[in-house]
Chains A and B, each alone.
Chain A
């Protein structure tokens, strides 16, 4: 362990290395090969040294988190930054200036830009797969050890719902008299939630990546139901190793509730119901925070750019495509 410079760091590296190797065995059900061991060892070393630097020394330039000294990049006067175009210090400053904790609010007004990413689906509440669900899940396994080769995002296929709930780079709620819109920064796309009293289609004439959605208020909670989902999208990528995606069928239903806890916080609960794939409903609860000084930008997933990126930086040379 030549990278070790102190006993405590050495111990920490060894502990993390042990954890990573156990994690590897769990995920891939086998002994890691030499290369994997070496990668995890160096990763463990780096991580611990990095965190030690973060914790231990203000003189380590790498350890400094970007703060208010970083100029805010906007298109010009009157324009705001996109949700991810501000660092944490600027976000905190914006929220302080807007008095988000004490600002009066209407519980039936959930409009605004929320978060700089979505709410990840809760792996702790992931129900067991049905046998058919397991088969679908297995089919999403990456062909490559280097990335998830089957992720529809690689070539900018639509993320669909609820993946874009879980991973969106910021979401704006817009309320109109007969509908609510969710505008997502990632992919620069939106979802319409009809509030004019219509019911979900019993037999959707065509499947939609964003589904068919209707909403209504129950007290101070905005309830949303959706169906008719295109089954080529994933519910979410599986972040445990990034080798799979969570599948769904076209019979998936999604039920959501949104409640404004105060001016600055929106509590969301999302339930995925797909008995063909999951033995129980899959429930995720999280809180999105208001971004008072941000506006949705334009994070497009551009197929030609993504293919170029894959060729330059992800695919091995002999697998790169020139398309």
Chain B
């Protein structure tokens, strides 16, 4: 049987490994990834066991009580099977045993509100435009 902490550990490891072991992540760059270790307790709202990467999406309440949605990107199901001995159902069982509440570390923030995400994107674009201007 998997120990209760193993799932989380493997998730942390498997989310971390792709950054260090680039051959497995050809379809996205590293800029998306948060490099800060984060611990978040929240409620799992969606779980996707599919290629190219399994995803866990969960709601976390911030200091003000607002719900912020986070996306945890795991390895592909094949790698989760190999490195974690996981199957689709074993992960569902883990989530159920925890009453849908999971403490996950290490992920990137996909969410925030749409406005927050759009603001981040605008800021990034502005920075990029500024950079291009400087180069020209």
Contacts and interface: CB of A to CB of B under 8 A. Distances in A.
A239 B10 CA distance: 26
A50 B20 contact: yes
B93 interface: no
Binding site secondary structure of chain B: helix
B131 interface: yes
A33 interface: yes
Interface in B111-130: 114, 117-118, 120-121, 124, 127-128, 130
Given A148-B29, A242-B29, A318-B121, A312 B81 contact: no
Nearest to B20: A47
Interface residues of B, number: 53
A12 B131 CA distance: 29
Given A309-B52, A316-B117, A151 B20 contact: no
Interface string B49-68: 01111010100000000000
Nearest to A306: B52
A167 B53 CA distance: 16
Given A300-B51, A318-B117, A154 B27 contact: yes
A45 B127 CA distance: 24
A151 B26 contact: yes
B84 A66 contact: yes
Interface string B1-40: 0000100011011001001101110111111100111000
A117 B86 CA distance: 20
A124 interface: no
B37 to A, nearest CB: 7
A218 interface: no
B51 A84 contact: no
A67 to B, nearest CB: 10
Contact of B32 (A84, A120, A146): A146
Contact of B82 (A84, A120, A243, A317): A84
23 contacts: A30-B134, A62-B12, A66-B82, A66-B85, A70-B82, A72-B85, A73-B86, A85-B81, A87-B83, A146-B29, A148-B28, A151-B27, A242-B28, A242-B29, A299-B78, A305-B51, A308-B48, A309-B53, A309-B55, A312-B48, A312-B71, A316-B117, A318-B117
Interface of B: 5, 9-10, 12-13, 16, 19-20, 22-24, 26-32, 35-37, 48, 50-53, 55, 57, 71, 73, 76, 78-79, 81-87, 110, 114, 117-118, 120-121, 124, 127-128, 130-131, 134-135
Interface of A: 29-31, 33, 35, 39, 42-43, 45-47, 50, 61-62, 66, 70-73, 81-82, 84-87, 90, 117, 120, 142, 145-148, 151, 153-154, 167, 169, 237, 239, 241-243, 297, 299-302, 305-306, 308-309, 312-314, 316-319
